[in-house]
Chains A and B, each alone.
Chain A
Amino acid sequence: GQQLNQSPQSMFIQEGEDVSMNCTSSSIFNTWLWYKQDPGEGPVLLIALYKAGELTSNGRLTAQFGITRKDSFLNISASIPSDVGIYFCAGLPEQGGSEKLVFGKGTKLTVNP
């Protein structure tokens, strides 16, 4: 249905490495959003995507809206210790007619200095 499967659940990487995570669904989405949450804080919006195939960057972060409209990807290049946190994808389903975002369960990123 309208669930989002986010993977991987967690990642342990060395500082300087590139990171890739993705979000998939069996449903079609009109919008994809990527958020980062630090411990004890609310999620912060990183990137918003509105069109299939769209590729958008925000500094070292790049996200893509999948061509099938059922997935999205987030890449982080040259990771640094402050990239640590939980990354959430969120999508607005095409079906349903309501403006209700659906969230993935998050990817927890740990960066070893």
Chain B
Amino acid sequence: KAGVTQTPRYLIKTRGQQVTLSCSPISGHRSVSWYQQTPGQGLQFLFEYFSETQRNKGNFPGRFSGRQFSNSRSEMNVSTLELGDSALYLCASSWTGTEQYFGPGTRLTVT
């Protein structure tokens, strides 16, 4: 089975812009979770989608949003980018929601 894929792998944006990241889960997985990883804060949970519905949400501002499509593919959007949004954004898919399989991540740099 193909693993979780994320596009793009690297992205450079300017403060104030918005960005959309994409994630394709492992075939058959209906749960997709998003995480932000920074050296200082570690892995922080953003949100989880299951069958196109947001099932869980972390403590991030409303500038961070996501959605899931009927084929389980997911996107996350960050509007009005800030310098502190520079991070590795990881997507993870799961059959049950517990054993999560991560993609390679998208490295976002905000200048």
Q: Give residues in A with beta carbon < 8 Å to B.
A: 31, 33, 35, 40-45, 48, 88, 90, 92, 98-101, 103-106
Residues of A with C-beta under 8 A to B55: 98-99
Task: Give complex CA distance A104, B37 in Å.
Answer: 12
Within 8 A of A (CB), among B72-111: 90, 92, 96-105, 107
Residues of B with C-beta under 8 A to A45: 99-102
Please, how many residues of chain B have a CB less than 8 angstroms from a CB on the other chain?
Answer: 22
Task: Give complex CA distance A33, B43 in Å.
Answer: 14
The answer to whether A42 and B4 touch across the interface, beta carbons within 8 angstroms, is yes
**CB of B62 closer than 8 Å to a CB of A:** no
Q: Give residues in B with beta carbon < 8 Å to A.
A: 4, 33, 42-43, 45, 48, 55-56, 58, 90, 92, 96-105, 107
**Minimum distance in angstroms from B40 CB to a CB of chain A:** 10
**Minimum distance in angstroms from A10 CB to a CB of chain B:** 13
The answer to whether B97 and A105 touch across the interface, beta carbons within 8 angstroms, is no
The answer to whether A31 and B98 touch across the interface, beta carbons within 8 angstroms, is yes
Among residues of A, the one whose C-beta sits closest to the C-beta of B99 is A48
The answer to whether B104 and A92 touch across the interface, beta carbons within 8 angstroms, is no
The answer to whether B105 and A99 touch across the interface, beta carbons within 8 angstroms, is no
Task: Give complex CA distance A97, B111 in Å.
Answer: 39
Residues of B with C-beta under 8 A to A43: 43, 90, 102
Among residues of A, the one whose C-beta sits closest to the C-beta of B3 is A42
Task: Give complex CA distance A53, B45 in Å.
Answer: 28
Among residues of B, the one whose C-beta sits closest to the C-beta of A98 is B56
Q: Which 5 A-B pairs have the closest CB atoms?
A: A42-B102, A99-B97, A103-B43, A105-B42, A43-B102
**Minimum distance in angstroms from A43 CB to a CB of chain B:** 5
**Minimum distance in angstroms from B37 CB to a CB of chain A:** 9
The answer to whether A100 and B56 touch across the interface, beta carbons within 8 angstroms, is yes
Residues of A with C-beta under 8 A to B98: 31, 33, 48, 92, 99, 101
Other A-B contacts than A40-B105, A42-B90, 6 sampled, CB-CB below 8 A, are: A42-B102, A42-B104, A45-B99, A88-B43, A99-B56, A101-B45
Task: Give complex CA distance A31, B100 in Å.
Answer: 12
The answer to whether A100 and B90 touch across the interface, beta carbons within 8 angstroms, is no
